[in-house]
Amino acid sequence: MGKAPAIIGVCSVILVAMVVAVAVGVSRSKTGGGSDEPMTSTKAVQSICQPTDYKHACENSLAGANTTDPRALIQASFHAAIREIEKVLNNSGTIQDAVKDPMSRQALDDCKELMGYSIDDLKNSFDQTRLAMVTEIPKLVSDLNITGFAIGGAKRRLMAKDGFPSWVSFRQRMLLQRNPSQIRPNVIVAKDGSGKYNSINQALKEVPKNNASPFVIHIKAGVYNEQVIVDKHMSNVVFIGDGPTRTTITGRLNFADGTSTFRTATVAVIGPKFMAKNIGFENSAGAIKHQAVAIKVQSDQSIFHNCQMDGYQDTLYSHSHRQYYRDCTVSGTIDFVFGNAASVYQNCKLIVRKPLDNQQCIVTAQGRSERREATGFVLQNCSFTGAPNYLPVKERSKTYLGRPWKQYSRTIIMQSQLDDIVTGDGWMPWMGNFALDTLWYAEFNNRGPGAVQTNRVKWKGIQKINAVQAQQFTAGVFLRGADWIQNSGIPYIAGMIPGL
């Protein structure tokens, strides 16, 4: 158990690179030169690839590196993954030209966009881990007891004396130390004409590309019927509304009417370090339209405080990266919190709405597809309850805590209130026996009639965890919240909540 974090630390970059290549169906060919490589280089590659799930692909991609330096091998893995994704992107046009069905063409567009984000993520990770490769890998290699690597040590102070990361500017520190309500907005949006704009998308045009400091948009009370996209170049954007039910961004794009789930989101947030406070997000398409996302979040280190997300199926698409939700309300029917982010929901309310007559209700559908992915949903001190119009049909349309969208789906519910709407089984299969042995579901120190464990499903993937294990899924540990949540001005509990 002690070596697990070290294995992940050194190998996750290589693993992610290999997983991306395998996931897009890339068939790799050997790079050659195996017998001509120095034996020490071969052993170094074998050692660093040994803990990965795709050992053969890893070794093939690094065979031409001709080095024993793990830093160089990690760099080579980044470049190999980027090359392979770019090849697929370049060839995708031919496939798209042959596809006539509109939904299939949309699916290909979605894949192309996601592969582009994968390349961006790999490049960003490579840039951000250059320093880590100098400061952390010597220790990690030592922890792994890997021999044959000659690494020079280096030290650099990453934290300033005031406890903020050294790369945070003085102006940012002052903003981070203030309550968000005290920050003067860069732009005001208002339906009544009292702001600079009456459209949120107009205000977003003012965000500088790759913005390095908080860009605050005050969105006054009103209903804003527009599809809002905070694109990948819009960093550090802050939305502040006048209240989660007073400022609402709404839309009704949906799968039934011909839009892919990925593109149905009323609000899509991609740029890193996004924050929203006192605002509502809605997809009003209704249960009959099936998949209809209110908000899709791909923003790394994103924070939502006192927000409301309303929809039916697929309300909150917690797509990827690290996300923190505090004092938020999410309503829906089927899989209304889904995706593959590393997300913590603290003090949030999950409200089950009345579904169609033939439907069951499922709160979560987490999508971890690889066993080493550091993703999962953690719901801490949340309440699971029913909307007034759902309660009369709760026996007919049962509510489940979650179901496994992907093979290694991971969800932890702890210190939460589970009302009697939660069925005794607790969890629902996706289809047949899919993922029942490989999922990772846990409940810890919950309360309420829905928390009774007597009749819970007995799948192999259901975990019984103790307080020490539960601590690993708190915001401070799971999200490393001290690095980015603690000084945001948003309420935050790093560990277990006392008294629960």
Please give the Cα distance from 207 to 233 (Å, whole number): 9
Using the Cα atoms of residue 495, residue 411, residue 343 and residue 283 in order, give the sign of their dihedral.
negative
Query: Is 335 labeled as catalytic in the residue annotation?
Result: yes
Q: Pick left, alpha or beta for residue 397 (phi over 0 → left; psi -120 to 50 → alpha; otherwise beta).
A: beta
- Residue 251: C-alpha distances to residues 68, 72, 227, 248, 284 (Å): 54, 48, 7, 10, 6
Q: Which contacts of 477-483 are long-range, i.e. CB under 8 A and separated by 24 or more positions?
A: 478/342, 478/344, 478/376, 478/378, 479/322, 479/324, 479/342, 479/344, 480/322, 481/324, 481/344, 483/165
Backbone φ and ψ for 322, nearest 5 degrees, come out as -95, 130
Report which secondary-structure segment, H or E, holds 254.
none
One-letter amino acid of 316: L
Point out the catalytic residue in the list 192, 335, 357, 425: 335
One-letter amino acid of 51: P
Cβ(333)–Cβ(353) under 8 Å? yes
| Positions of E strands within 222-307 | 222-225, 228-230, 237-241, 247-251, 267-269, 275-277, 280-283, 295-297, 302-305
Q: Which residue has the tokens 């309310």?
A: 349
Dig out the tokens for 483 from the structure: 């690095």
Please give the Cα distance from 240 to 217 (Å, whole number): 6
Beta strand pairing call for 295-297 and 308-310: unpaired
Q: Report the 3 state secondary structure along 297-352.
A: ECCCCEEEECCEEECCECCEEECCCEEEEECCEEEECEEEEEECCEEEEECCEEEE
Using the Cα atoms of residue 194, residue 200, residue 206 and residue 212 in order, give the sign of their dihedral.
positive
Active site residues: 335
